[in-house]
Amino acid sequence: MRTFSLALRNLLRNRRRSLTTLLAMVVGLTAILLFGGYRSNIIYGIESGFIQASGHLQIQHQNYYLEGGDNPTAYGIHDYQQIIAAIKQDSVLAPLLTVVTPTLQLGGLAGNFSAGVSRSVMASGVVPDERQQMERWNDYHLFSYVHPLLLTGTTPDSVVIGEGVARKLKLCHVLRIADCVQTDDVVAATGAAAPDDIAALSALEETASVKETGTRIEMLAATSHGAPNVASLSVVAARNMGIKALDDIYLAMHLSQAQKLIYGSAQPQVTAIQVQLHHTSQIPAARARLQAIIGEQFASQPLEVLDFKVLNPMYGQTAQFMNSMFGFIATLIAVIVLFTIGNTMSTAVVERTVEIGTLRAMGLRRAGLRALFLCEGLLLALMGAVAGVTSALLIAWLINHSGLSWTPPGYSYAYLILVRVWEDPVLLIGSVLGLIGVTVISAWWPANRASKLMIVDALRHV
């Protein structure tokens, strides 16, 4: 305790130099925490978006991820209801689960023939209630940009399309989409009728109860036998998907309608079973148990379990980029702080050379002298940590309540600029410990040099 008291008094002897050093530490720690908090918000936000859309884990037919995107019928999962029941009834998995839901991905051609336009789409057959529950996952308590799917409680032929699809199918005005720029260069004044073969197939799918309701489009897809099939669909809403490339092809429909379009009266299948957990940290345990269940009870099907990082390579690429940027900035600031503190402590050693000799002559051992200078550095680190964390929290609060936003490359709407400092304890504790470590290391070299000074040389130093 006496050593810390002497160290504090020594720091106060030269307030200007100590304050300058402390300011450098505060600025450095604040910068690291703010950028780290911004990085955490981006990474957690992307992770939450992917988990809300596709779950933590997916059970798929082997090689579907690599080869089956354009041929879902060749990689379908049959008896998927039994697989889902086995997962939900498993005593190990049940406490970990939030949602287990099937999905069917298919491609096709959507057309608004009253306007004489059509375009390719990628459709998702989903269970609306379960999909809505998945989209409520928010383990990191982030600001959510998810728009409700709006398929819950609708008729089986209802669909939700991306705003880009709505624009290309000339449905902006009908669906009352704000800020939807729709070109009219290909729209005929009276509209064009659907081709006879498509109209005939579409008529078979319509029912009297829904024939005149909603905004009708037709979707053409290939059945599991390779024959064309058309469904007449009612567009209930358009959804901004955030990413323009996805927004221009997105279509969501009821799973039963998607299965009817692809399999007809044959046994329905799905392309994936999505498993959403309470926490991302539960993925290893859940994956191991899922693989065991598949191997023991459903070995007749070649199935595999993939996590959201494999299914969404963009997550890993973004996280790697943000982590490398954070590491570079943190290293740069650490080097600056290291040399600043080292210069401060070296100057103190030179100025107090006679004092060091006197202390050594009075019986202070080298270890005690080294501890004195290390305590001075440690006190600087503790004061810098407290001031830096306080400064970072204050600036983060101001940023989070400023309403500032930006539009990331490839996205179609702006995201708020948010910084997670207090909400990321790993970042907070790691940055503080890093600052203390850098300070102690930078103080050790001058302290060690001071402890090795000869008493006689120190006393006659001018």
Q: Which of 251, 269, 265, 229 is nearest to 72 (CA)?
A: 269
| Pair 39, 92 in one domain | no
| Pair 174, 268 in one domain | yes
| Pair 343, 292 in one domain | no
Q: Measure the CA–CA gap between 333 and 324, rounded to whole angstroms.
A: 14
| Pair 438, 337 in one domain | yes
Q: Is residue 218 part of a domain?
A: yes
Buried b (16+ CB within 10 A) or exposed e, 179-206: ebeeeeeeeeeeeeebeeebeebbeebb
Q: Measure the CA–CA gap between 187 and 178, rounded to whole angstroms.
A: 20
Range of the domain at 351: 2-47+316-459
Q: Which of 330, 334, 376, 329 is nearest to 356 (CA)?
A: 376
Residues 6+ positions from 159 with CB-CB distance below 8 Å: 123, 151, 217, 219, 233, 234, 235, 236, 251, 252, 253, 257
Domain boundary (301, 330, 364) is at: 301
Q: Is the dihedral of CA 185, 191, 192, 198 positive or negative?
A: positive
| Pair 36, 100 in one domain | no
Q: Measure the CA–CA gap between 33 and 385, rounded to whole angstroms.
A: 11
pLDDT digits (tens, 9 = 90+) for 326-336: 999 999 999 99
Please report the DSSP string for 309-325 in residue order.
Answer: HHH-HHHHHHHHHHHHH
Element holding 161 (H helix, E strand): strand 158-162
pTM for this entry: 0.82
| Pair 239, 215 in one domain | yes
Overall number of domains in the chain: 2
Q: Measure the CA–CA gap between 202 and 112, rounded to whole angstroms.
A: 12
Q: Is residue 142 part of a domain?
A: yes
| Pair 404, 376 in one domain | yes
Q: Is residue 201 part of a domain?
A: yes
Q: Measure the CA–CA gap between 174 and 161, rounded to whole angstroms.
A: 13
| Pair 272, 356 in one domain | no
Walk along the chain (462 residues) and give the pLDDT tens digit of each residue: 677 777 777 777 778 888 988 999 999 999 999 999 999 999 999 999 899 999 999 999 998 988 877 678 889 999 999 999 999 999 999 999 999 999 999 999 999 978 889 999 999 999 999 999 999 999 998 887 777 888 999 999 999 999 999 999 999 888 888 877 776 554 443 344 556 555 555 555 544 444 444 489 999 998 877 788 899 999 999 988 888 888 899 999 999 999 999 998 888 999 999 999 999 999 999 999 999 999 999 999 999 999 999 999 989 999 999 999 999 999 999 999 888 888 888 887 777 777 777 777 777 777 777 888 888 888 889 999 999 999 999 999 999 999 888 877 666 667 889 999 999 999 999 999 999 999 888 888 887 777 777 776 667 665
Q: Do the beta carbons of residue 219 and residue 251 sit within 8 Å? A: yes
| Strands 117-126 vs 250-254: parallel, antiparallel or unpaired | parallel
| Pair 24, 78 in one domain | no
pLDDT digits (tens, 9 = 90+) for 270-310: 999 999 999 999 999 999 999 999 999 999 999 999 999 99
Q: Is residue 58 part of a domain?
A: no
Q: Of how many residues is the chain composed?
A: 462
Element holding 252 (H helix, E strand): strand 250-254
| Pair 270, 145 in one domain | yes
